[in-house]
């Protein structure tokens, strides 16, 4: 489990590289964050690189609080 200032996220959704984002204080699910295969993996010139894309969804009530940058930083660590 990874816990930051405002988030706790620890559940894999549907066996994919997608995490449910929970608000730390009330444990309410407020969004998701995932690593996805990049289009660049299909390009011959990028075959030597391991490239992933980050996708996320966050409930509008939680926008502007710095939660998603916090979650992305934790994911990258």
The pLDDT tens digits of the residues spanning 16-42 come to 677 888 887 777 888 888 887 788 877
CATH number, domain 2-76: 3.40.630.30
Q: How far apart are CA 52 and CA 29, in angstroms?
A: 24
Whole-angstrom Cα distance, residue 57 to residue 17?
14
Cα 11 from Cα 18, distance rounded (Å): 8
Question: pLDDT class for 61, splitting at 50, 70, 90?
Answer: very high
pTM of the predicted model over 0.85 = no
């Amino acid at each position: 489990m990874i816990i930051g200032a405002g988030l706790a996220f620890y559940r894999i959704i549907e066996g994919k590289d997608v995490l449910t984002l929970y608000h730390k204080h009330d444990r309410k699910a407020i969004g998701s964050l995932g690593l996805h295969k990049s289009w660049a993996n299909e390009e011959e010139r990028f075959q030597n690189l391991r490239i992933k894309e980050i996708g996320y969804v966050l409930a509008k009530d939680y926008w502007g609080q710095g939660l998603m940058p916090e979650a992305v930083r934790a994911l990258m660590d």
